[in-house]
Structure 1
Amino acid sequence: MVNPWTGEVALRIDGERHVLKLTLGALAELEAGLKAGSLVDLVERFEGGAFSSRDVLALIVAGLRGGGWSGTAEDLISAEIEGGPLGAARAAAELLARAFMLPDGT
């Protein structure tokens, strides 16, 4: 079971359940790896529906790494993500929202 109040999101990859979380270290790694802009720009892209598959992959990798995974984006190229690209995008958006959500739900 994931704890949404700590920013956790569950995602099945190759049939295995993973808990993703954007820790401060994962966020810093994500921001360093962004090809364009900052985390604020990334949030704005998701809010406006203008995110790219690269954005989704970067968020999934950062969340996995924040959850203790030691892989890389290349490890996910041929992975089967439950729900396909849409499922990955939903998980990435939820992960990003939970990372900046206050405990009262705002």
Structure 2
Amino acid sequence: MANPLRGEVALVLDGERRVCKLTLGALAELEDHLQADSLAVLVDRFESGSLRARDVLLLISAGLRGGGWSGDLSDLLQAEIEGGPLEAARVAARMLALAFRPPQ
């Protein structure tokens, strides 16, 4: 079960419920893949509305690995995300919101 207090979001991938979490390592990987100069640039890219399907997949892939998944982007490209593109975008947005929320 995903725990939002720990920044976790659930995603059903190929019929299996998985945990996604943007750890510092996952964020560094994401910066590299998206060629973002900083975390602020990365967040701005997602908040600006200029999101591409590849951006969502990279974010989901990084979050899955942050949650302990051992796959990679090529595995994700072949996988079925329950709820389709809309659910993938929702999970990506939720991960970002949780990763950058102020401490409680």
TM-score normalised to structure 2 length: 0.90
Encode CA deviations 1:43-77: one digit per residue, 9 max, x unaligned: 22322322111110111010011011111110011
CA RMSD of aligned residues (A): 1.4
CA contact (8 A) 1:31 1:38 kept: yes
Decide whether the 8 Å contact of 1:2 with 1:19 is kept in 2: yes
**2:30 is matched with which residue?**
30
Structure 1, unpaired ranges of 5+? none
User: Identity of counterpart residues, as a percentage?
Assistant: 67
For residues 83-94 of structure 1, the aligned pairs below 5 Å read 83-94=83-94
Secondary structure of 1:45's aligned partner: helix
2:90 counterpart letter in structure 1: R
Report if the CA contact (8 A) 1:42-1:55 is conserved. Answer: no
Question: In structure 2, what is the equivalent of residue 70 of structure 1?
Answer: 70
Q: Distance in 1 between matches of 2:38 and 2:90?
A: 20
2:56/2:89 contact within 8 Å kept: yes
C-alpha contact (below 8 Å) 1:13/1:80 kept by paired residues: yes
Instruction: For 1:15 and 1:58, locate their aligned partners in 2 and report how far apart those are by CA, in whole Å.
Output: 20
Q: C-alpha separation between the residues in 2 aligned to 1:35 and 1:14?
A: 29
Deviations 1:22-57 (A, max 9, x none): 111111111111145543233223223221111101
